[in-house]
């Protein structure tokens, strides 16, 4: 069985500040991990993925995430927030079956 | 790559009516997934196809729900005798056939039950 916990349903940062969105997972098999972003009334857009290999993963729009097996974490970061980053972010895990199990999401607010 | 296309974008219907949604995946993707997303929640898995074969169904998919993927191309999701609790965003995604391949999502169909 797999599950995802996203700490903090809402995160607020100032423009230019560090963005940190937390994700912890549980998986009975080696996990594949993903971060998606969702803008209002739209589908989900893939930011980045971890499958195997390098544990620091770089994605689109300056985002990156680090897979830490010992902490069962896959936190998403961006050094400098931009107004256009305001959206809802979802962490997801999949195993051999490839279906995704999502966290409840974190809404990111960026203040000017 | 034209992306995953879903139709209609919005559907409003009365309780008890039947509704059908369509999903056109990315052309070279042989896996197709359906998810349901309610307000304030992450998407929840409903079912998936590899080519035309429906390989897994969630317990969320009651007997009022049926999904098809004839000829392994587009897919339809039908809900019979809709209930208030069916109001949600229905998302379709597609991917290539390996488990580590990311899923690409459409913009969803928002269903509202009056």
- Rounded Cα distance between A19 and B40, Å, is 21
**Which residues of chain A neighbour B91 with C-beta distances below 8 Å?**
43-44
Mean pLDDT of chain A: 93
Determine whether the interchain pair A52/B102 forms a contact, defined as Cβ–Cβ distance below 8 Å.
no
Task: For A41, name the nearest residue in chain B, comparing CA atoms only.
Answer: B107
Which whole-number Å values give the CA distances from A38 to A63, A90, A110, B61, in the listed order? 14, 8, 15, 24
List, edge to edge, every strand of the sheet that includes B5-7. B5-7, B19-24, B75-79, B65-68
Q: B92 CB contacts (<8 Å, ≥6 apart)? A: B4, B6, B21, B23, B25, B32, B33, B34, B35, B75, B77, B105, B106, B108
Q: Per-residue pLDDT for A97 more than 70?
A: no
* pLDDT tier, B61 (very low <50, low <70, confident <90, very high otherwise): confident
- Rounded Cα distance between A20 and B42, Å, is 19
* pLDDT tier, A89 (very low <50, low <70, confident <90, very high otherwise): very high
> For the residues A45-65, what does the mean pLDDT come to?
93
Q: B45 - beta bridge partners?
A: B35
Task: Check residue A103 and give its pLDDT.
Answer: 96
Determine whether the interchain pair A98/B42 forms a contact, defined as Cβ–Cβ distance below 8 Å.
no
At B112, list the tokens: 């509202």
Determine whether the interchain pair A99/B56 forms a contact, defined as Cβ–Cβ distance below 8 Å.
yes
Q: A13 - beta bridge partners?
A: A110
> For the residues A77-97, what does the mean pLDDT come to?
92
């Amino acid at each position: 069985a797999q599950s995802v916990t996203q700490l903090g349903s809402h995160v607020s940062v100032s423009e230019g500040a560090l963005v940190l969105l937390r994700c912890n997972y549980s998986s009975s098999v080696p996990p594949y991990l993903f971060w998606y972003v969702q803008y209002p009334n739209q589908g989900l857009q893939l930011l980045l993925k971890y499958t195997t290999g390098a544990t620091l993963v770089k994605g689109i729009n300056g985002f990156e995430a680090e897979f830490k097996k010992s902490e069962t974490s896959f936190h998403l970061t961006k050094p400098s927030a931009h107004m256009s980053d305001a959206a809802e972010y979802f962490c997801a895990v999949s195993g051999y079956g490839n279906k995704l199990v999502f966290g409840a999401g974190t809404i990111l607010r960026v203040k000017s | 790559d034209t992306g995953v296309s879903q139709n209609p974008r919005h559907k409003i219907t009365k309780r008890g009516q039947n509704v059908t949604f369509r999903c056109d995946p990315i052309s070279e993707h042989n896996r197709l997934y359906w998810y349901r997303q309610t307000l304030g929640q992450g998407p929840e898995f409903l079912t998936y196809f590899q080519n035309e074969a429906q390989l897994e169904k969630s317990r969320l998919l009651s007997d009022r729900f049926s999904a098809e993927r004839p000829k392994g191309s587009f897919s339809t999701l039908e809900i019979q005798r809709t209930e208030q609790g069916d109001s949600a965003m229905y998302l379709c995604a597609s991917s290539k056939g390996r488990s580590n391949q990311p899923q690409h999502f459409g913009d969803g169909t928002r269903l509202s039950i009056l």
